[in-house]
Every structure is written in C-alpha cells, then in structure tokens.
C-alpha cells in the first residue's frame, strides 16, 4: 500500500481456541486522521488495539506503521516507535501531582550530566506546562491526581501519552463516565491533537463520534461491516441492523 498511510492493517487475524475474534481485517489510517471504531459488544474492537500495540499476538496478517512491521515487535518497541495506547480505566499515580505524573512519563533518553542536566530540566518543565494546557489542567499542576475528577484523570492519562509525542495514539472509550461538558472538551482536545498525529478511538457515544471522527470503521464479528464518513455509516442499512438500531 502507498506511503499515504501512517498505519496499514491488512488481513489481521487472531484466533482464540479456534474462535476468530479478528478475522482478516484490513483498514488504513492517514496522517492527521481521527479514525473511530464502533460496533456491538464482542465485535473485536479492543482486540484490534491489543494486536496493534503488541499486547496480543496475531495469528495472521500485517500491521505496518510507517515503514515498520509492528507484528514482529515487542510492546515496548512499539511504544518507542511512536504508538501510544490508553486503556479504558485511567491508570494515573494517585499520590503524585499532575506535574509529577507528566514528568514520570517524559521519555527517558540518554543520561546527561551537569549543565546539560539543568537544561534538560528546563525543557521538561516547559513541556509539562505545554501539555497541561492542552489537557485543561494547567491550573492543577500541583494537585494530587487523587483529587481530580474522573474526567480530569482521563485527560491526565492522555497527557502522559502526549508527552511522549506519539505519531499514533489509540484510545479505548476515552469519554466513558464523563459529564456532557467533559465530553465536549475531550472532543475539542482530540480535534486539536490530530493536527500533529493520528488517533484511533473506540467509542459507543454516537454524539461524541460525530464530533471527532474523520472516518468511522464499523466492526462486526471481527470484520469490517461498513466504513466511511459518519453520515455514510449511519445511513448504511447493515449498520442500522446490527448496531445502531438496537
């Protein structure tokens, strides 16, 4: 496939004891795209993200990220290659502040000493403030994460991924449990961050999907049922039958 895509998933398959949770799935993500994956429970959405990030081993297919084949790489190598993944439940360090949580996630790089170390600290601080602004937490930098709302914890975790500057970010139901106002702000956040990267989101809230999606992939029984603009998939009778009509 052409270089136009940042991610090319082809014939991706995984079997669990003979059951194909993902079945010869192909899809392509462009730079600066927000791809939303929707579909009924058990369709294979989370498994697709698990396969891309190396958490689950595929039984077949290819996943090409830029010029790298991810299926032959370990989870940590995939992170280092520029693929970030957020799981459904927030996993921030409750006893640490917003600033400390972000600092912990700053990429380690090579060790530097003396004056260079001082310079590195400056760089890290600047980056922490920049990220905190992006995730609406610049006024809570010294707040312990334990005191943040559920939505703010989700944003902090997104910030902990953003500080590593991934070119592809994958989010599993990022607005679950959020208030309406927090959902709106999360849509704003995603629309801003795709200016510098691509995002894949698994989501059930169709209002939120409409606010963020460049394109939507509808998954059913591990295969693509429909794909295209939100309007297109919403009006696809097959999608209405297996998912939206329920």
Ligand X SMILES: Nc1ncnc2c1ncn2[C@@H]1O[C@H](COP(=O)(O)OP(=O)(O)OP(=O)(O)O)[C@@H](O)[C@H]1O
Residue 63 Cβ vs ligand X, minimum distance, rounded to whole Å: 16
Within 10 A of 228 (CB to CB), how many other CB atoms are there? Answer: 14
Q: Rounded to 5 degrees, what angle do the CA atoms 188, 192, 194 make?
A: 120
CB-facing half-sphere around the CA of 217: CA atoms within 13 A = 23
Is 89 a binding residue for ligand X by CB under 6 A? The answer is no
Pairing type for strands 34-38 and 198-202 reads parallel
- Pull the structure tokens for residue 71: 């299926």
Residue 129 Cβ vs ligand X, minimum distance, rounded to whole Å: 35
Which helix or strand (DSSP H or E) is residue 133 part of?
helix 114-134
Positions 49 through 88 that interact with ligand X (CB under 6 A): none
Nearer to ligand X by Cβ, of 88 and 214: the residue is 88
Stretch 156-195: interaction string toward ligand X, x if CB under 6 A: ----------------------------------------
Residue 21 Cβ vs ligand X, minimum distance, rounded to whole Å: 3
Residue 45 Cβ vs ligand X, minimum distance, rounded to whole Å: 3
Nearest CA among 26, 77, 21, 73 for reference residue 47: 21
Which helix or strand (DSSP H or E) is residue 179 part of?
none
Is 44 a binding residue for ligand X by CB under 6 A? The answer is yes
Nearer to ligand X by Cβ, of 45 and 85: the residue is 45
Nearer to ligand X by Cβ, of 39 and 159: the residue is 39
Sign of the torsion formed by the C-alpha atoms of 59, 61, 64 and 69: positive
Nearer to ligand X by Cβ, of 23 and 211: the residue is 23
Nearer to ligand X by Cβ, of 21 and 169: the residue is 21
Positions 1 through 30 that interact with ligand X (CB under 6 A): 16, 21
Is 140 a binding residue for ligand X by CB under 6 A? The answer is no
Residue 123 Cβ vs ligand X, minimum distance, rounded to whole Å: 38
Is 36 a binding residue for ligand X by CB under 6 A? The answer is no
Instruction: Name residues whose C-beta falls within 8 Å of residue 242's C-beta, 6 or more positions apart in sequence.
Output: 39, 40, 220, 225
What per-residue string of b and e applies to 99-110 under the rule 16 or more CB within 10 Å gives b? bbbbbebbeeee
Nearer to ligand X by Cβ, of 45 and 183: the residue is 45
* Residue found under tokens 């032959």: 72
Is 43 a binding residue for ligand X by CB under 6 A? The answer is yes
Q: Which of 46, 101, 105, 152 binds ligand X (CB under 6 A)?
A: 46
Please give the size of the binding site for ligand X, defined by CB under 6 A. Answer: 10
| In contact, 125 and 106? CB cutoff 8 Å | no
Is 47 a binding residue for ligand X by CB under 6 A? The answer is yes
Is 217 a binding residue for ligand X by CB under 6 A? The answer is no
Instruction: Name residues whose C-beta falls within 8 Å of residue 92's C-beta, 6 or more positions apart in sequence.
Output: 101, 145, 148, 153, 156, 157, 160
Residues lying near ligand X in the complex (CB under 6 A): 16, 21, 39, 41-47
């Amino acid at each position: 496939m052409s270089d136009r895509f940042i991610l090319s998933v082809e014939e991706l398959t995984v079997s669990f004891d003979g059951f194909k949770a993902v079945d010869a799935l192909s899809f392509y993500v462009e730079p600066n795209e927000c791809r939303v994956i929707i579909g009924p429970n058990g369709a294979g959405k989370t498994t697709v993200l698990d396969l891309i990030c190396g958490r689950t081993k595929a039984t077949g297919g290819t996943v090409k990220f830029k010029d790298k084949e991810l299926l032959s790489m370990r989870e940590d190598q995939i992170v280092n290659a520029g693929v970030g993944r957020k799981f459904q439940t927030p996993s921030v360090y409750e006893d640490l502040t917003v600033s400390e949580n972000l600092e912990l996630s700053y990429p380690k790089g090579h060790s530097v000493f003396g004056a260079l170390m001082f310079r590195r600290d400056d760089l890290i601080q600047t980056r922490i403030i920049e990220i905190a602004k992006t995730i609406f937490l610049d006024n809570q930098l010294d707040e312990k994460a334990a005191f943040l709302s559920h939505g703010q914890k989700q944003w902090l975790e997104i910030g902990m991924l953003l500080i590593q500057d991934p070119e592809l970010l994958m989010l599993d139901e990022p607005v679950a449990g959020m208030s309406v106002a927090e959902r709106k702000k999360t849509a704003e956040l995603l629309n801003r961050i795709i200016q510098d990267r691509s995002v894949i989101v698994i989501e059930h809230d169709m209002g939120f999907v409409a606010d963020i999606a460049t394109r939507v992939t509808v998954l059913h029984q591990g295969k693509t049922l429909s794909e295209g603009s939100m309007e297109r998939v919403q009006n696809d009778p097959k999608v209405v039958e297996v998912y939206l009509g329920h």
